[in-house]
Chain A
């Protein structure tokens, strides 16, 4: 069956450091992969999209890589700030469906 796995443990990092989150998938051939941020009690908010023929995408302090051979995406938050504290979700898209991983909770300490 299809499976999307993210870092199971929460990530606690010091302000200014880089947070690196992992998204692995099996039995999928996604056309694209997305990353979202979710704050408690709110709906997810889109951050970045990367397509199957792209290796890397950047947006401000965010960077995402996509390796379709390894079936893995890495999400980096550089120069992290306390305001970056949230749960980060990866989502895989194919056809008309968009399926999410369980998310990784990041806490940035001042």
Chain B
């Protein structure tokens, strides 16, 4: 079982609210990733980090922001949630370039 945790697992929130999705790993991995996945669809990389104080945008444009102040923590924030943000958000980490990625259970976000 991978030591990477996402909270909450499910979140239903109203339009315009600010939300933060939490992701923590206890493996000391430098690389961390956020993916967005709609049901039955592919994973889209929205943010990644290769270490503390480094964050980069991924392949899919996203209105979310991330921070990496500590190695183990990579939260994702939406300043003003909209129904178009409804999706599953998956966090992952890897030790270094070229090694396997470990995924969390995901957060299923519904914005009403």
Contacts from A to B (Cβ < 8 Å): 2, 31-32, 34, 36, 41-46, 49, 51, 89, 91, 93, 95-103
Contacts and interface: CB of A to CB of B under 8 A. Distances in A.
A103 B56 CA distance: 25
Interface in B41-55: 41-43, 45, 48, 50
Given A43-B103, A44-B101, A97-B45, 12 more contacts: A42-B105, A43-B92, A43-B105, A49-B99, A89-B42, A89-B43, A96-B50, A96-B56, A98-B45, A98-B92, A98-B101, A99-B59
The prevalent SS among residues of B at the interface is: strand
A42 B50 CA distance: 24
A20 B50 CA distance: 34
A85 B58 CA distance: 30
Contacts of B48: 96-98
A100 B98 contact: no
B90 interface: yes
A46 B93 CA distance: 12
Given A44-B103, A96-B48, A96-B50, A31 B97 contact: yes
A49 B98 CA distance: 8
Nearest to B100: A46
B33 interface: yes
Contacts of A100: 35, 42-43, 45
A55 B58 CA distance: 29
Nearest to A96: B50
